[in-house]
Structure 1
């Protein structure tokens, strides 16, 4: 379950389908990522082909990331069986 977004455009897309605030060309990929993230019970459940799941290091240790396109990523943290601090970044 997704608990909290830090990117308002991504949250709006997730809740309403509005592409305002995201790259429109990423919509299909983001829909797939968010659907899987909403059902995932741990970060490892996001280890799907093509997403390149990995954990960040250093100051961002504990944050996981998956590829959207090019340099674009969805980052998140898992806590108590749900995704928290979900962000869309370049």
Structure 2
């Protein structure tokens, strides 16, 4: 089970439970390892540039999610977030089907 000292808040309850309690029931089995890698890195990041790792494909969002960044979980699934005062905030999960 991981603690979350740097992520200020989650918009997604399932991501919060996954990171803080290790509760993976609502995370698709095939995406759990990748999701854990993303959340652990996000927890240690102070800026969007810190998420620029091979395979994460960080990118700025537009439209209704302007101000957010996203990294790829798989296929059309993304973890989205923004940074406030050097901490990740408003962390959410989008399944863009």
Per the TM superposition, whether the score is higher than 0.5 is yes
Moved beyond 4 Å, runs of 4+:
none
Aligned-residue CA RMSD in angstroms? 0.9
Q: Distance between the aligned counterparts of 1:26 and 1:67, measured in 2? A: 11
Gaps of 5+ in 2: 1-5
2:36 is aligned with 1:31: yes
Say which of 37, 40, 47 aligns to 1:42: 47
* Aligned residue number for residue 79 of structure 1: 84
2:24 is aligned with 1:52: no
2:23 is aligned with 1:18: yes
Q: Shift in Å at residue 89 of structure 1?
A: 1.4
Q: Shift in Å at residue 41 of structure 1?
A: 0.8
Alignment coverage as a number of residue pairs: 90
TM-score by length of 1: 0.95
* Aligned residue number for residue 88 of structure 1: 93
Q: Distance between the aligned counterparts of 1:82 and 1:61, measured in 2? A: 18
**Contact residue 55 and residue 65 of structure 1 kept, 8 A:** yes
Q: Shift in Å at residue 59 of structure 1?
A: 2.8
